[in-house]
Every structure is written in structure tokens, then in C-alpha cells.
Amino acid sequence: MSQQTRKPIRWGMVGGGRGSQIGTIHRNAALRDNVFALVAGAFDIDPERGRAFGLELGLDADRAYSDYKAMIKGEAERPDGIEAISIATPNNTHYEITRLALENGLHVICEKPLCFSVQEAEELLTLSRSKDLIVGVTYGYAGHQMIEQARAMVRNGDLGEIRVVNLAFAHGFHSEAVEEKNPATRWRVDPAFAGPSYVLGDIGTHPLFLAEAILDHMKIKRLMCVRQSFVKSRAPLEDNAITLMEYDNGAIANVWSSAINAGSMHGQRIRIVGSKASIEWWDEQPNQLRYEIQGEPARIFERGMGYLYPQALIDDRIGGGHPEGLFEAWANLYRRFAARMQPHDHAAPSDISNLIFPDIEAGLEGVRWVENCVRSANAGGIWVDYR
Ligand code: NAI
């Protein structure tokens, strides 16, 4: 697809400073297709380190800010001030930064989880709608092309009626108390920074969103969840959780969210079982989608091939056989965010608008899911109604 190069959206970042886990991919994704231009930033909890990093990234000295409040205020006073902001800070700050940005007329791209409670998420949704502003949430795996293929296959009835959904995001990186030495893990197991959950919100919400996107005709009716802190010092936050979910069409799902799956690199999988066939996608091999029809040999679909549904090819950057990865998936999402923020300059005709777009409702659903999982688990693993 041709890349849009007209009038990049003036863009600022909060968080994602030097050494952060996720800052680099935000910048790579936003800048890849020239749909955003990085012109301001408050990158770090440490003001001086943040300003120095902004200068290294090439910002003008007066736009490398010491904190996000100064940035939002300073930019609002400029005729060429930022139009959009990305938030890549620890979870406890997302709500207040998103709120201030929206109040000041900025579009927002926020890290997950969007905030800590359904009530906060609904407030942000109401505010964004009243201001006619876009909030995107970086469920980055949704930008992989094979997720669009999976969605098209379900919609076209290739699987038949959906019966079972297996979801997992279960890595092994925190099977020991690595937080004793690693600050980026330390805040994740502290409720003051991470919120009411660790792995449910940090990783379980990723496959949950993939399921929402692929199975958008199905709604969760009720769920039950159990959660454990295998590294005891993490209590009350869990490092492992298992959730069962019933959908309104009678389908059943399970979600394994874990940071203690020793030996696993990433372990994010989605398997969807229908009455005729099943599909399976694994984020460690994101260019392939497994398609199994009952009674036939399994097939492996490859990204970029002409036999895929057209919507799986819209974001193609290079022909099949060349591996694409998470950076491309995120760039695909950033382009869709831009298309929603400034449709006149960035919407590619017909195509992008039908692709997956993790918006504020996706952010709200993630928060709702975590809230319900925690409610169920804290009551001893009982079924709870979802809405
Ligand atoms: P990190 O701890 O590695 O980095 C956080 C960065 O934010 C640091 O540069 C820190 O100095 C800065 N910061 C903290 N408070 C700030 C403030 N008030 N103002 C400005 N900067 C501030 O954290 P990491 O792993 O990068 O996570 C950040 C967010 O991204 C979290 O919400 C996390 O859940 C999310 N995340 C999302 C991923 C995804 O796949 N979408 C993957 C990894 C993280």
C-alpha cells in the first residue's frame, strides 16, 4: 500500500524515556510512515534525564519538557503545538495524563491498561466523545496482518459456529523475583503503580483484545477467575491467573495469563475452534496462521500471499516470505490511529477504516475484564456476571 506522507500530525510523548521497555517501539511505529512528527516530549520521571533525552532525539530545546503538565500547557500556547500525545508511563499515571490531554484538545494514544477502574474508563470515554477526540490503546499485536485474516475467516463462516476459544499469554521471564534487581518489573508487582492486577492487566488483556477483534460478534456473558502469587512477595498481585469465560452465543473460553511459565519466551496464543474448522495464531511466529479443517491435513497460511482475504493484504509492506514483526504491526496501528485523527490527510480511501482499531472502547473492555477477574478471584473464584 502506498505510504501517506502529507502533513504529519504534530506529536508528543510522555514517558518512554531512555532504557524504558516500550518507548522505542512507539517512536519507531509512529515515525515509520511519516504520519506523525515527534516535536515535543516529557520522557522521564527524572526531569533532567528526560530533557537530555529529548535533545538527543532532536527536539528543540524549548520543547524537551521536564514534565507532562508543562508540556501540555506549553504546547497549548503555541500556534504549532502538538495535536496528539502518546503515553508510555507506568499504569498509575495513564488516567490523569489522558484526562489532562483530552481536556486540552489532544488526541491520545495510551498504553494499556487504560486506567484502573471501569468508572475512570467511562469518564475518559465520555470526555473524548464530547471533545470529538480519538483515544487509541496500544494492543500492538492486533496490527499483525494474520489477525485480519483470522477475522475475515470467522466473518466468512470458514470455521462454522464458534465453540471454544483458547487464549494464553504466558511467558517465563518473571518465574523468579527479578523485581529485586529490575525497576521495570518492580512497579509491575506494586499495586500503587500497577493497579489491581499484575499479569491479568499487563499481558492477559493482549489476547483478550485479539479475541474481541476477531470474534466481534460475541460478547462475554460471565466469567470466573483464580489467581496466584507463586513468588510470594508479589501478593496481593498475581503472577499467574486462569480465567474461564462464557459468551452469549454459548461458546466457552479460557485465558491463561502468566509470567512464571518457566522456559516460555512469550507464549501468546489464540486458538479458535468452530464447528467446521479451527485456526491458531502464535505471536512468536506472527507471519503464519494455522488452519485445520476436520478430516483434512492442516494448512499453514503465510503472510503476504494472494490466497489471503483482501483485508489481510491491505497493510502489506513487502511480499510474502519476508518476515514482518512487532514493529510493523505497531506501525500499522499507528497509521490507523492517524487515519482516525485526521481523516482528510491520513485516511487511505476505503481500506484502513475497516481494519482493527483498538480504541477507547477496547481500553474500557480491558479494564472491565480485569475488574471482573479480580472480583471473581477475590471472592474465591466464583462466576460473576460480566456487565
Ligand atoms: P518502564 O518502567 O520500562 O519505563 C517507564 C518510562 O516512563 C521511564 O522512562 C520513566 O522514566 C517514565 N516515566 C515514569 N513516570 C513518568 C511521568 N510521570 N512522566 C514522564 N515519564 C515518566 O515501563 P514500560 O515497561 O516501558 O511500561 C510503560 C507502559 O507501557 C506500561 O503501562 C506498560 O503496561 C505498557 N507496556 C505495554 C506493552 C504493549 O505491548 N503494549 C509492552 C510493555 C509495556
**What CATH number is associated with residue 79?**
3.40.50.720
Q: How far is the centre of ligand 1, averaged over its atoms, from the C-alpha of 209 (Å)?
A: 20
- Give residues (CB < 6 A) around ligand 1: 14-17, 20-22, 42-45, 68, 88-91, 93, 111-112, 138, 140, 184, 202
State the closest ligand 1 atom to the C-alpha of 202, by its place in the atom list counted from 1. Answer: 34
Percent of the chain having pLDDT more than 70?
97
In a domain, 372, yes or no: yes
pLDDT by residue (tens digit) across 59-76?
999 999 999 999 999 999
Rounded CA Rg of the chain: 21
In a domain, 353, yes or no: no
Residue 51 has pLDDT above 80, yes or no: yes
Taking alpha carbons only, the member of 369, 92, 380 closest to residue 206 is: 369
* Residues 237, 121 share a domain: no
Residue 2 has pLDDT above 60, yes or no: no
Percent of the chain having pLDDT more than 90?
94
pLDDT by residue (tens digit) across 191-212?
999 999 999 999 999 999 999 9
* DSSP β-ladder status, 277-282 and 288-293: antiparallel
Range of the domain at 106: 9-140
> Is ipTM > 0.95 here?
yes
Q: How far is the centre of ligand 1, averaged over its atoms, from the C-alpha of 267 (Å)?
A: 22
Structurally, how many domains does the chain consist of?
2
Q: How far is the centre of ligand 1, averaged over its atoms, from the C-alpha of 111 (Å)?
A: 8
Boundary (domain end) residue, out of 140, 160, 188 = 140
Boundary (domain end) residue, out of 140, 174, 190 = 140
Q: Which residues contact 172 (CB under 8 A, 6 or more apart)?
A: 259, 260, 261, 262, 263, 264, 265, 267
Residue 100 has pLDDT above 50, yes or no: yes
Q: How far apart are CA 208 and CA 169, in angstroms?
A: 9
Instruction: Using most ligand atoms within 8 A of CB, pick from 98, 111, 185, 186 the residue to mutate for ligand 1.
Output: 111
* Residues 149, 298 share a domain: yes
